[in-house]
Amino acid sequence: MDPDKYLIKPSRMVDLAEIPTDDTRGVTKPEGKEQLEALAERLVKLQNVFYADGSRALLVVFQGMDTSGKDGVIRDVFGPLNAQGCYVESFKVPAGAETRHDYLWRVHAKCPQKGMIGIFNRSHYEDVGVVRVHNLVPPATWNNRYRHIKEFERMLADEGTIIRKFFLHISKEEQRERLEARLADPDKHWKFDPKDVEERKFWDAYQEAYSDAIGATSTKHAPWHVVPSDHKWYRNLVVATVMVQTLGALNLEYPTPDFDPKKIKVV
């Protein structure tokens, strides 16, 4: 499976309606799960070296419609990692001091330091998504934010942050089935928000907003992958593959100690 098939090249026009949500590239579920196990082992080792090296940071951004699996992919792909070097941030409606600063202020404060993997479960892309769909800011405002975001991510990259962005792409029918499954399971009622049903009325508007945002902000240093996510196991496989390729390409090694281990005696 080649995840570059889902990579959005810079300056490409994007129409999510034309991108399949159920693609598996001929990989079967048993094959995918077997591959994921091997990737998980590799990812754990790569993270250990990444953390020890401490020369770069890694920012992973997840966006998607409700029920697209942001929580699930974070749990399934990043769950095995050492929590000392990996954390998750989730951005809700701005409140308090956040409302008295520019919209990127709170985001910048949560970006990972070198050696760390920072995962955004929703992100600054809400500021060109939900605000557009619900007319919370004028069109000129959210349109200018594409430029702001590209410049912000360019700065992060220049300062040593690797950025990978994933849009978890599901169909409207798949979302309906997942929402119904939450309603049918009392143990999942806590995850259900009646507002999610209301938001389905804006499905087409969200698809258009995300299409424009992805096309406008996928760059060489901060690329988007649109990940088919109707099949959870395949979604996990694509994300894990990108993560292993990203960290593996750095060719990092553990730092050389400033002492001779052979001369150290533990008594």
Q: Supply the DSSP string of 103-139, one letter for each residue.
A: TTHHHHHTSPPTT-EEEEES-GGGGGTHHHHTTSS-H
- Token pair 């998750």 is found at 88
Write out pLDDT tens, residues 11-21.
Answer: 889 999 999 99
Average pLDDT of the chain is 96
Nearest C-alpha neighbor of 210 from the set 4, 60, 1, 61: 61
Task: Read off φ and ψ for residue 60, nearest 5 degrees.
Answer: -115, 120
224-228 vs 7-8, strand pairing mode = antiparallel
Residue 25 has pLDDT above 90, yes or no: yes
Residue 100 has pLDDT above 90, yes or no: yes
Res 50: pLDDT: 98
What fold does the segment set 3-252 form as a domain? Rossmann fold (3.40.50)
**DSSP conformational letter for 19:** S
Res 151: pLDDT: 98
Reduce the DSSP state of residue 162 to 3 states and report it.
strand
Q: Give the whole-number percent of the chain exceeding pLDDT 90.
A: 91
Average the pLDDT over 57-68 and give the result. 97
More confident residue, 49 or 257: 49
Average the pLDDT over 9-32 and give the result. 95
Contacts with 117 (C-beta within 8 Å, 6 or more apart), sequence order: 47, 50, 57, 58, 60, 78, 81, 85, 86, 87
Reduce the DSSP state of residue 251 to 3 states and report it.
coil
Average the pLDDT over 140-164 and give the result. 98
Global pTM reads: 0.95
pLDDT band, residue 98 (cuts 50/70/90)? very high
Residues in the chain: 267
Write out pLDDT tens, residues 181-223.
Answer: 999 999 989 888 888 899 999 999 999 999 999 999 999 999 9
For residue 46, give the amino acid letter.
Answer: L
Sorted by where each begins, the domain ranges of the chain are 3-252
Res 11: pLDDT: 82
Write out pLDDT tens, residues 63-87.
Answer: 999 999 999 999 999 999 999 999 9
User: In whole angstroms, what separates CA 39 from the centre of its chain?
Assistant: 17
Reduce the DSSP state of residue 94 to 3 states and report it.
coil
117-121 vs 86-90, strand pairing mode = parallel
Task: Read off φ and ψ for residue 88, nearest 5 degrees.
Answer: -120, 135
Residue 247 has pLDDT above 80, yes or no: yes
